[in-house]
Amino acid sequence: MSLPFPEYDTLDGLAIADLVRRGEVSATEVTDAALARVQARNPRLNAVVRPLDAFGRDMARRVDPAAPFAGVPMLIKDLMATIAGVPTSHGTRVMQKVTPGHDSALVARYRRAGAVFVGKANTPELGLTPFTESEALGPARNPWDVTRTPGGSSGGSGAAVAARIVPIAHGGDGGGSIRIPASCTGVFGLKPSRGRMPTGPDLGDVWRGFVQEHVLTRTVRDSAAMLDATAGEDVGAPLSCPPQARPYLDEVTTEPGALRIAVTASPFFGSRVHPDCVAALDDAAALLASLGHHVERDEPVVEGQQLARDFLTVVAAECRADLAWMGEQLQRAPRRDDVEVATWALGLLGQAFQASDYAASMRRLQMAGRTCGEFLTRYDLLVTPTLGSPPFPIGALQPSSTERAALALLGRFGLGGALKAAGLLDETAKKVFGFMPYTPLFNVTGQPAMSVPLYWNAQGLPIGTQVVARVGDEATLFRVAGQLERARPWTGRVPPLD
């Protein structure tokens, strides 16, 4: 099938904006090209769960051609970020028709940057899983192999960017949810430092500061330029980050110099790592050494098993608070059948903990931040695999039928204490952190981290490499990312499209 504006598939956001600015193509023509690709490519991916045809075309007609991303099509994840007048489901059944009356602060900044919203991107229920398979929205699929996950929780965003539906898509990262789909779909994804991005006007810190929002992109420069357009002061926010010294876009073309880089394949929260992920790390380490960096094996020492429990303690408590918030939006008490059985069970678990459990967990997690902060006084960067395995088949991490029945039974009787006694937290940690043993630590520490697509395995699946810097030092990440992109360009690697 012939699609309009065929060169669209080869252009990043800044290149499209440049064409719009010079009058070589109109923002409306670009929007039509994106919407045609939603129609053609989304049915096999389920990346876009709410196309915004009329909304997007109306935005395109009013684009400021001087804006940095003038006329650039973009997806907004169907979680947290709100668009005035457009329902935000948060991956649930019951929130499908709840329509916010205003933009979130970040969405307002995307508007000012000239982006055009052409759809809402798929997400798991309440963003709780590293895969995107909610009962309400259905599974998102990986364009490299549609039987496999694109990751989560920004799985729809990663799949759409990889499939050239849009050059840029919004994501949020509370345990790896930008970096995980970036790794699974072969695109670039950066989680900014804690406090870098706005969370207003409706939220303070999210998941005690673990969550940061930004974008998934095909090119490093799009990520840098969008961070320039959206980061900065957020009035009344509980957290803040020192401003950058100069535009991040300038950093992408700045050589980083010889850096001291620590490399490790040792999982922080899991126990085993797939050989493909180790091979991708070794390949990245060799590439960095060839570029003149001093690379050595070393890692921060943390109590991974305890920290995994602590992380899930906080997430369980936040889940319970989210269920209460949903009840406020619906103007009634939350009910068990409002959400999936695992979500309800996690909320019961959060209710079962004592306040002192939560406080003790946060104390230990914050001390991990001290450990990692001290470690990066000796190195400029830490490099790890992004994930513990390649993208897995859809459904592989879902609860088994037996587990679902047990969760449903316990949930029916409100046995939060029984869930805790049954060791659900330990079992959940083992399964989830086996897939994502590296990313959550840097949500806990607040350090900026990115997944860079440098490696594809023998099955043709992308395998990301994670690079972590000191808090506030996105500049070094963008310098190194730009250097890696020049040394081994990845945008020419394209999954099957039409």
Which residues are marked as active site?
Answer: 77, 153, 177
> Which DSSP letter does residue 127 get?
G
CA distances from 214 to 157, 257, 362 (A): 11, 27, 24
**CA angle, residues 165, 104, 49, in degrees to nearest 5:** 35
The first and second tokens of residue 433, run together, are 């952190």
Find the DSSP H helices in 413-487: 416-421, 424-435, 440-445, 474-487
What's the rounded Cα separation, in Å, for the pair 353 and 421? 11
DSSP E strands, 37-90 = 48-51, 73-77
Q: Is 35 exposed, middle or buried (0-12, 13-18, 19+ CB in 10 A)?
A: buried
Residues 6+ apart with CB under 8 A from 219: 12, 13, 14, 167, 188, 485, 491
Structure tokens at 415: 């046995």
Compute the distance between CA of residue 156 and CA of residue 159 in angstroms, rounded to an integer.
5
User: Of 80, 79, 81, 109, which Cα lies nearest the Cα of 232?
Assistant: 109
| Residue whose tokens read 């798929």 | 122
Q: Judge residue 295's burial from the number of C-beta atoms within 10 Å of its C-beta, 0-12 exposed, 13-18 middle, 19 or more buried.
A: buried
CA–CA dist 320, 328 (Å, integer): 13
Long-range contacts of 458-461 (CB under 8 A, 24+ apart): 458/276, 459/145, 459/390, 460/144, 460/145, 461/142, 461/144, 461/145, 461/148, 461/184, 461/276, 461/390, 461/391
Task: Return d(Cα 96, Cα 137) in angstroms, integer.
Answer: 10
Which of 200, 166, 204 is CA-nearest to residue 185?
166
Q: Which of the 8 DSSP states describes residue 142?
A: B
Q: Phi and psi dihedrals of 297, rounded to 5? A: -85, 120
